Copies of this chain bind each other. A is one copy, B any other.
Amino acid sequence: MAKRGPYEKGEAKRKEILQAALEIFAAEGYRGTSLRKVAARCNISLPGLMHYFDSKEDLLTQVLRMRDETARVRQEQRPTGPDVYREIIREGRATPGLVELFVSLAAAASDTEHPAHEYFAERYPRLREQVAAWLRGRTEAGQLRSGIPPERLATLLIALVDGIQLQWLIDRSVDMEQPIADVMALLAPGDAER
Interface residues of chain A, those whose CB is within 8 Å of chain B, are 29-31, 96, 99-100, 103-104, 106-111, 114, 117, 120-121, 124, 145-148, 152-153, 155-156, 158-164, 166-167, 169-171, 174, 178-179, 182-183, 185-187, 191-194
Contact = CB atoms under 8 A, between A and B. Distances in A.
Contacts of A153: 182
A109 B31 CA distance: 10
How many copies are assembled?
2
A94 to B, nearest CB: 15
19 contacts: A29-B110, A30-B108, A99-B110, A106-B170, A107-B107, A117-B170, A120-B170, A121-B170, A121-B171, A145-B194, A155-B174, A158-B167, A159-B159, A159-B166, A160-B160, A162-B162, A163-B163, A186-B186, A192-B192
A148 B185 contact: yes
